Amino acid sequence: METVEFPLTPLPPGSGEALAERLAALLAARADAVVVVCEVSALVEPTAADLDHLARLRLAARRAGREFVLRDAGPALRSLLTLTGLAEVLEDGRRPGRPRG
C-alpha cells in the first residue's frame, strides 16, 4: 500500500486552505498513493488552528479518495482530539489494523 508522508508543524491560523491545496497537488502527482500519513509529532502544544488544519487536510485527502491517518500524535493532541469529538475522524495510525507509513 503506497503512502504519502505529510508533516504538519505549528502554523498560524488561516493556513488551512493553503495546506489543503498543497496536499491536493501532492496527491494529484501521486496517483498510486492510497493513504496520507500526517506526521504530527511537532504539535506539542496544539491549538484550535492546528485542529482546523488537520480537519482541512483530512477533507482534502477524502476528496481525493485517499485515507488520512495521523502518526505520532502526542498526549496533548490526542486529548484535544478526544475533547472536541474529532478523535474518531482524525485517526491515529498506531491503532490496530491501521497502516503504518
Convert the pLDDT of each residue in 22-59 to its tens digit.
999 999 999 999 999 999 999 999 999 999 999 999 99
β-bridge pairing 35-39 and 3-7? parallel
The three-class DSSP label of residue 69 is: strand
Residue 92 DSSP symbol? B
As a whole-number percent, the residues of the chain with pLDDT over 70 amount to 90
CA distances from 74 to 1, 8, 22, 70, 96 (A): 25, 13, 24, 10, 17
pTM, to two decimals: 0.87
Report the distance separating Cα 12 and Cα 15, nearest Å. 6
As a whole-number percent, the residues of the chain with pLDDT over 90 amount to 83
- Residues paired with 7 in a beta bridge: 39
* Residue-range domains of the chain with CATH: 3-84 (3.30.750.24)
pLDDT in tens, 79-94: 999 999 998 888 776 5
The pLDDT, as a whole number, for residue 100 is 39
